[in-house]
């Protein structure tokens, strides 16, 4: 190979490159040009794009083993249409530019537009990207784990479909400019098992969709500005969008730091939608709890104003809360006196700031408005506090008091709110200083059993799913989610179904995920944002499963073995209960055949009248799924009620062994 040689190097079609050792390399120095015209896999080798060099990447490259790509200051990688860079297993990316000489990933013609090229897939640990420009991609950087130790600093992302996407990982993104993308930050299933997402000092502006889109993710946001996001005025277009048991703090909660500024010092302004959108089961810590000086609350000292600029549901709204848990929003600068017209849902905003927070540890004057409407001036809050045993003891005392609320008033709204806060504290206790991590699942399970018919029991069941996911127990999480679909309704069911689809994908059950997704689209046609998100995941899932690290906890990464397992012949016949059940408007019926045979599947009403014949044909051995859309043989929508499905199986080799099975299901229109 060529190492540290000037001039140019072209790898053309029909050329095979084999790098066999950790010192193997291909390099181009200053003014040199490296051109890749062939899909290339690098195993245990190095490609280095030296200072001020150019690499024309006309086809995709995959780095495996202990390989890595090193990009020096001023280097430019011009990416061809659809070209991806994939770093799997132990491979890594190291991009080290300088403040005056950034490295650059851009379109081949140098005039970047969204989706000109593909994605930088990062499946391993300790990837480092600093002083870099990424523009014109599909998904600029995609971190997909389990992985950790990933760092992105001082980078610019523009004209990408998605700038930074993180799934099942932890990462620090600091001092970056993220502008004029369709999506900015997309965070999916980043739970405490992998750590949290830390966003510090970023400027996120002028993006079509939300500044931060969080699904089942834990994130801390600090010293960042989210300005004029949601410019497309479609789907989701907010400053922060938190759904499906996300936990976002606009401030620090890292217990490892000795000195922490008392607040977040973030600014969220000019969002076309609301500034902060919190959907059912999620939690956003925006400000302090009223009257509290507890170090347990480390948000506050944020500015949220002039959001809801687009006419419609979010017009003029700073915070839009669809949960039953109060959003703590004290010590916030609202650019004037806040009124209820600025908010939707339970918001605690009794204390506010009269001027924007300045600096990182110097909060301005605080105004407090009690119930009688009279205002008074208080001294500035303590700007720095020490965290440690005091903080831990305060949290323990608060958890005890919240558990007492649950025990004495389980049917109250406050009980559900108390449980959400307890779970947040324990979920984000990375070092288990509270000593609660091992017992939280048993506590949630006891509440679910005792109060199954109450909102508290349903909330506990949903948090059980999130806790199993956080412990990387995907099998248990999926079982809980599947069972919950028959108990949940409304948005709680919708969120659980979308999470189950994601978990099925992550564990390689792609066919089942696709079937459930078809049901989701029928049940929730207005959920365009989540449908778009899930479809994007389906588009990438084959690539993800082939390259991601194995899952811990006894679940291995499904790759070729997964595909082979799916084609194994079942040992015996089986007919599963339809799923979901009850359903509206569609449900799936799964069955497994040990041998090829004639299959007849019919739907009957309670009077024994045939409603629909779903199947009457020969099917090969294997697993099969049939969807019923709730319509009869004439195409009319069936009425609500109980229905029976009858399954007849005649093995072609032994028709005398005919099997007839029946199941019961409920259609709710």
For 283, the 3-state DSSP assignment is strand
Element (H, E) at 505: helix 490-506
DSSP letters for 373-425: ---EEEPPPPSEEE-SHHHHHHHHHHHHHHHHHHHH-TTSHHHHHHHHHHHHH
* CATH code at 569-667: 2.60.40.4070
Is residue 167 helix, strand or coil?
strand
Compute the mean pLDDT over every residue in the chain, rounded to the nearest whole number. Answer: 81
State residue 652's pLDDT score.
75
Instruction: State residue 663 phi and psi, 5-degree precision.
Output: -140, 160
CATH superfamily, domain at 389-560: Tetratricopeptide repeat domain (1.25.40.10)
Q: Which of 38, 43, 33, 49 is nearest to 16 (CA)?
A: 38
Which has the minimum average pLDDT: 16-25, 33-42, 217-226, 627-636?
16-25
pTM (global) more than 0.85: no
Of the ranges 90-94, 201-205, 291-295, 523-527, which one carries the lowest mean pLDDT score? 291-295
Given a contact cutoff of 8 angstroms between Cβ atoms, the answer to whether 45 and 22 are in contact is: yes
User: Residue range 522-541: average pLDDT?
Assistant: 90
Report the distance separating Cα 533 and Cα 370, nearest Å. Answer: 43
Task: Check residue 380 and give its pLDDT.
Answer: 33
Q: Is 50 exposed, middle or buried (0-12, 13-18, 19+ CB in 10 A)?
A: buried
Count of H-run helices and E-run strands, the chain: 9, 48
| Burial group, residue 118, by CB count within 10 angstroms (0-12, 13-18, 19+) | buried
Calpha distance 27→106 (Å, rounded): 19
Q: What is the pLDDT of residues 37-95, one digit of tens each?
A: 556 667 667 788 888 888 888 889 888 888 889 999 999 999 999 999 999 878 899 99
Which DSSP state fits 486? T
Q: Is pLDDT of 591 > 80?
A: yes
DSSP 558: P
Q: Which of 43-47, 437-441, 512-516 has the lowest mean pLDDT?
A: 43-47
Q: How many Å apart are CA 55 and CA 64, to the nearest integer?
A: 20
Can you give the residue ranges of every domain in the chain? 1-181, 389-560, 569-667
Residue 192's pLDDT is what? 58
7-34: pLDDT as tens digits: 444 444 433 344 333 344 444 434 445 5
Residue 218 phi, psi dihedral angles, 5° rounding: -105, 125
Of 295-299, 569-573, 576-580, the least confident = 295-299
């Amino acid at each position: 190979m060529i190492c540290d040689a000037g001039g140019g190097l072209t790898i053309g079609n029909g050329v095979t490159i084999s790098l066999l050792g950790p010192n193997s390399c291909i390099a181009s120095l200053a003014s040199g040009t490296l051109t890749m015209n062939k899909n290339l896999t690098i195993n245990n080798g190095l490609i280095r794009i030296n200072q001020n060099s150019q690499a024309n990447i006309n086809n995709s490259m995959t780095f495996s083993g202990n390989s890595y790509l090193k990009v020096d200051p001023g280097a430019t990688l011009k990416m061809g249409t659809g070209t991806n860079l994939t770093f799997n297993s132990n491979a890594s990316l190291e991009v080290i530019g300088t403040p005056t000489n950034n490295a650059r990933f851009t379109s081949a013609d140098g005039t970047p537009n969204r989706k000109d090229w593909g994605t930088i897939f990062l499946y391993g640990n300790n990837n480092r990207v600093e002083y870099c420009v990424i523009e014109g991609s599909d998904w600029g950087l995609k971190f997909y784990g389990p992985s950790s130790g990933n760092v992105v600093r001082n980078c610019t992302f523009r004209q990408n479909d998605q700038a930074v996407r993180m799934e099942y990982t932890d990462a620090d993104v600091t001092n970056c400019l993220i502008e004029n993308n369709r999506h900015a930050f997309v965070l999916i299933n980043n739970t405490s098992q992998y750590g949290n997402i830390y966003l510090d000092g970023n400027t996120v502006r002028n993006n079509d969709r939300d500044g931060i889109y969080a699904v089942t993710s834990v994130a801390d946001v600090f010293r960042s500005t989210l300005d004029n996001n949601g410019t497309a005025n479609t789907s989701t277009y907010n400053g922060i969008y938190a759904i499906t048991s996300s936990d976002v703090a606009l401030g620090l909660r890292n217990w490892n730091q000795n000195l922490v500024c008392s607040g977040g010092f973030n600014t969220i302004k000019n969002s076309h939608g609301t500034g902060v959108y919190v959907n059912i089961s999620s939690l956003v810590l925006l400000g302090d709890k009223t009257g509290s000086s507890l170090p347990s609350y480390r948000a506050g000292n944020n500015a949220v104003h002039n959001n809801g600029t687009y006419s419609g549901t979010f017009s003029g709204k700073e915070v839009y809360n669809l949960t039953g848990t109060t959003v703590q929003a004290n010590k916030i600068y609202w650019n004037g006196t806040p009124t209820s017209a600025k908010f939707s849902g339970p918001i605690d905003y009794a204390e506010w700031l009269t001027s924007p927070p300045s600096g990182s540890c110097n909060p301005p004057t605080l105004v407090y408005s009690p119930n009688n409407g009279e205002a008074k001036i208080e001294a500035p809050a303590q700007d720095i506090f020490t965290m440690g045993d005091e903080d831990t003891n305060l949290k323990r005392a608060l958890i005890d008091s919240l558990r007492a609320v649950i025990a004495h008033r389980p049917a109250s709204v406050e009980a559900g709110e108390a449980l959400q806060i307890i779970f947040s504290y324990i979920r984000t206790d990375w070092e288990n200083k509270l000593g609660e991590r091992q017992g939280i699942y048993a506590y949630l399970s006891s509440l679910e059993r005792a109060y199954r018919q109450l909102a508290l029991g349903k909330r506990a069941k949903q948090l059980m799913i999130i806790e199993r996911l956080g412990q990387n127990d995907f099998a248990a999480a999926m079982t809980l989610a599947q069972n919950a679909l028959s108990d949940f309704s409304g948005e709680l069911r919708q969120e659980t179904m979308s999470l189950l689809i994601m978990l099925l994908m992550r564990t390689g059950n792609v066919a089942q995920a696709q079937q459930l997704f078809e049901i989701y689209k029928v049940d929730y046609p207005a959920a365009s944002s989540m449908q778009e998100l899930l479809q994007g995941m389906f588009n990438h899932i084959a690539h993800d499963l082939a390259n991601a690290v194995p899952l811990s906890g006894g679940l291995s990464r499904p790759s070729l073995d997964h595909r082979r397992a799916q084609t194994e012949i079942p040992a015996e016949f089986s007919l599963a209960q339809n799923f979901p059940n009850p359903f509206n408007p569609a449900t799936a019926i799964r069955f497994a055949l040990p041998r090829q045979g004639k299959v007849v599947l019919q739907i009957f009403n309670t009077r024994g009248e045939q409603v629909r014949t779903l199947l009457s044909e020969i099917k090969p051995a294997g697993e099969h799924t049939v969807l019923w859309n709730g319509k009869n043989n004439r195409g009319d929508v069936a009425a609500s009620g109980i229905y029976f499905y009858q399954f007849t199986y005649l093995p072609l080799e032994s028709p005398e062994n005919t099997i007839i099975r029946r199941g019961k299901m409920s259609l709710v229109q």
